[in-house]
Amino acid sequence: MEKKWWQSSVVYQIYPRSFQDSNGDGIGDIPGITSRLEYLADLGVDVIWLSPIYASPNDDNGYDISDYQAIMPEFGTMDDFDRMLEKAHSLGLKIVMDLVVNHTSDEHRWFREAQKSKNNPYRDYYIWRDPKPGMTPGTPGAEPNNWGSCFGGSAWKYDETTGQYFLHLFSKKQPDLNWDNPKVRDEVFNMMTWWLDKGVDGFRMDVISLISKPEGLPDGVANNTGFAGFDQCSTGPRLHEYLQEMNRRVLSKYDIITVGECPGVPMEEARQYANLEGTELNMIFQFEHMASDLDPAAGRYGESKLNLPLLKAILNKWETGLQGKAWNSLYWDNHDQPRAVSRFGNDSDEWREISAKMLATCLHLMQGTPYVFEGEEIGMTNCPWNSLDEINDIESRNNIAQNLKKGIIREDQVLGILRRQSRDNARTPMQWDAGENAGFTTGTPWLRINPNYTRVNVADQVGREDSIRAYYKQLIALRKHSDLIVYGDFELLEPESESVFAYVRTLSSERMLVACNFTDQMVSFEIPEEFRDGKRLIGNYEASGDGKVLRPYEAYAVIVP
């Protein structure tokens, strides 16, 4: 396999709104990021993925863009961006932008124009349809099909001015772009080229799997959570054509990293999106493991419980299914998901540090490019929300309301679901120290700061050799000097075990065993004979065990030449 720099890289995701405020308005910003670049360089990551920083009315916190070539005023100026980019590059850090082109904000100039009339030159930048024949426009049932928005309700909004509906798979203020229109593709490709010519090092592509809509926009299979349409839109008829055109006209001209966010994409499609010939993207985020603990009837905003055999089966499927055919990404969480240590580990004071290190060992020693979400490296946890009023996230608020209305959940379940599942668990401000507002802001933070910031913060961990952050540094450094970790084949051991996640990596004669205990109990795990006298690469307990058991949340890696 031809080696590429992004295959041995580690990516760190910043949610700018919550990372570091520099001017006391309680909102993270670009100068704040610039002031923390040395912290990231010291961690050893190679690439920083910035969630959107473009002009936006923030209906979906920046994923609703009103100008792709302007910086959101709350985050700073284009000069601030240029200074950050230059300093990042001087520290050997690459900057990846979040490309959100399945939809724009309804405040984008294009949509403002499109809304004016049916024959406006920008009308066909978006997806407009007449009301269902015989139905009263604007009333339930008159929508062009049964598609639901990911944020609750119908995926269609009626526009009185022109008597038509427009499609929005996300919020009403995020109208979907019409990628079948070559003018839209030209606009997007020109914008991408503009950012790449400024020196950015790649793109994370927001729901890129949804940009090609099916002919005739047929009804989808309505599921309990109401979001029909995903099944129809995921990897639509011209998706690969559009990505290959994007690659030909833009991506192939630069030495960059690209990752597509692809909810609902099956293996055979993923092999095409992330093929090793490089005709589309470098890699994708698959989502299957993100549903491994969910109740299918209620979806994201219902009850959830870790199912380790299922989680292992899914990760094994993606490790072996892409091996030698396409490149994998590895992640436990991001700005849309609950915090990893709360969801897959144990966020009690007793077990938080050891289980966070176990999760990091399990993920970072698999095959693929690992992603670290801001705060994951210090074991930040879900937040003990007191009420729905504290929640900012449009998806949480709308889906909880919808599930309550449909009787899928009860009122007395809401707080527990928010504390386990809300996207805001990932969006509480970064915990830098035990001082005022966790060192995030001198003002009033835009979102509640997790009260455990006095115990979980960067200052407590930088310089402490047994900290989670020090462990992440070790893991990240390992990847830099090991083709076995980057390219080795993956083989799952003990698939049925409900407590142990163990696997072997192989590259020519070198083999590595990784063993992880996902429970707070001591469990039996006989180290395979061939690894008995192997060299311990890393472990989250001071000394190695006896090779017959795994202590609570124990993780280690052993290598044999």
Q: 372 to 431, contacts with ligand TEU by CB under 6 A?
A: 395, 423
Q: How far is the CB of 441 from Ca ion (least distance, A)?
A: 7
Q: How far is the CB of 545 from ligand TEU (least distance, A)?
A: 37
Q: How far is the CB of 425 from ligand TEU (least distance, A)?
A: 12
Distances (CA, A) of 112 to 65, 66, 165, 367: 13, 10, 15, 45
Given Ca ion, ligand TEU, none, residue 29, with its beta carbon under 5 to 8 Å by kind, binds: Ca ion
According to DSSP, residue 176 is labeled B
CA distance 504 to 139: 57
Given ligand TEU, Ca ion, none, residue 469, with its beta carbon under 5 to 8 Å by kind, binds: none
Question: If binding is defined by CB under 6 A, does position 170 make contact with ligand TEU?
Answer: yes
Question: If binding is defined by CB under 5 A, does position 84 make contact with Ca ion?
Answer: no
Given Ca ion, ligand TEU, none, residue 336, with its beta carbon under 5 to 8 Å by kind, binds: ligand TEU
Q: Spell out the alpha helix ranges (H) of 158-307.
A: 182-198, 230-233, 239-249, 267-273
- 265 vs 550, which CB is nearer to ligand TEU? 265
Q: Which of 100, 270, 515, 527 binds ligand TEU (CB under 6 A)?
A: 100
Instruction: Copy the structure tokens of residue 93.
Output: 């850090």
Cα-Cα-Cα-Cα dihedral of 540, 541, 544, 548, to 10°?
Answer: -90
Tokens 């890699």, residue located: 283
Q: Give strand ranges (E) for 496-534.
A: 500-507, 510-517, 523-524
Q: Pick the stretch among 26-34, 306-314, 394-402, 471-479 that binds Ca ion (CB under 5 A).
A: 26-34
Question: If binding is defined by CB under 6 A, does position 106 make contact with ligand TEU?
Answer: no
Active-site residue, 333 included: no
Q: 254 to 283, contacts with ligand TEU by CB under 6 A?
A: 261, 263
Radius of gyration, CA atoms only, the chain? 23
Question: If binding is defined by CB under 5 A, does position 25 make contact with Ca ion?
Answer: yes
- 190 vs 442, which CB is nearer to Ca ion? 442
- 33 vs 233, which CB is nearer to Ca ion? 33
| Contact mark string toward Ca ion, 498..537, x via CB under 5 A | ----------------------------------------
- 325 vs 448, which CB is nearer to Ca ion? 448
Q: Which of 150, 363, 378, 476 binds ligand TEU (CB under 6 A)?
A: 150
Q: Which of 300, 339, 343, 469 binds ligand TEU (CB under 6 A)?
A: 300
Q: How far is the CB of 335 from Ca ion (least distance, A)?
A: 18
Residue (of 482, 555, 503, 483) closest to 315 by Cα position: 503
Active-site residue, 261 included: yes
Question: If binding is defined by CB under 5 A, does position 29 make contact with Ca ion?
Answer: yes
Residue nearest to ligand TEU (CB): 63
Given Ca ion, ligand TEU, none, residue 207, with its beta carbon under 5 to 8 Å by kind, binds: ligand TEU
Given ligand TEU, Ca ion, none, residue 170, with its beta carbon under 5 to 8 Å by kind, binds: ligand TEU
Q: 3 to 22, contacts with Ca ion by CB under 5 A?
A: 21
Tokens 């990042």, residue located: 88
Count H helices and E strands in the chain, helices first: 16, 22
Q: How far is the CB of 199 from Ca ion (least distance, A)?
A: 24
Question: If binding is defined by CB under 5 A, does position 27 make contact with Ca ion?
Answer: yes
Contact 235, 259 (CB under 8 A): no
DSSP result, 232-273: HHTT-TTHHHHHHHHHHHTGGGS--EEEEE-TT--HHHHHHH
Tokens 């509480």, residue located: 428
Please pick, among 46, 59, 176, 206, the residue that the annotation labels catalytic.
Answer: 206
- 394 vs 485, which CB is nearer to ligand TEU? 394
Question: If binding is defined by CB under 6 A, does position 155 make contact with ligand TEU?
Answer: no
Q: Pick the stretch among 3-11, 27-35, 42-50, 166-174 that binds Ca ion (CB under 5 A).
A: 27-35
Per-residue burial over 153-164, b if 16 or more Cβ lie within 10 Å, else e, is bbbbbbbeebeb
Q: 49 to 78, contacts with ligand TEU by CB under 6 A?
A: 60, 63
Given ligand TEU, Ca ion, none, residue 80, with its beta carbon under 5 to 8 Å by kind, binds: none
- 36 vs 420, which CB is nearer to Ca ion? 36
Given Ca ion, ligand TEU, none, residue 106, with its beta carbon under 5 to 8 Å by kind, binds: none
Question: If binding is defined by CB under 5 A, does position 23 make contact with Ca ion?
Answer: yes
Distances (CA, A) of 88 to 37, 123, 199, 383: 7, 40, 11, 31
Contact 42, 91 (CB under 8 A): no
Helix (H) or strand (E) segment spanning residue 340: helix 340-343
Q: Give strand ranges (E) for 251-403.
A: 257-261, 283-285, 294-295, 299-304, 329-330, 369-373
Angle at 201 between CA 200 and CA 206, to 5 degrees: 90
Question: If binding is defined by CB under 6 A, does position 176 make contact with ligand TEU?
Answer: no
Contact 420, 385 (CB under 8 A): no
Given Ca ion, ligand TEU, none, residue 21, with its beta carbon under 5 to 8 Å by kind, binds: Ca ion
CA distance 552 to 317: 26
The distance in angstroms from the start CA to the end CA of the chain is 21
Q: How far is the CB of 517 from ligand TEU (least distance, A)?
A: 28
Q: Which amino acid makes up residue 421?
A: Q
Contact 12, 41 (CB under 8 A): no
Give the side-chain half-sphere CA count within 13 A for 158.
16
Q: How far is the CB of 557 from ligand TEU (least distance, A)?
A: 31
Please pick, among 64, 106, 176, 261, the residue that the annotation labels catalytic.
Answer: 261
Given ligand TEU, Ca ion, none, residue 208, with its beta carbon under 5 to 8 Å by kind, binds: none
User: In the complex, which residues of this chain contact Ca ion (CB under 5 A)?
Assistant: 21, 23, 25, 27, 29
Q: Which residues are catalytic?
A: 206, 261
User: In the complex, which residues of this chain contact ligand TEU (CB under 6 A)?
Assistant: 60, 63, 100, 150, 170, 206-207, 261, 263, 300, 335-336, 395, 423
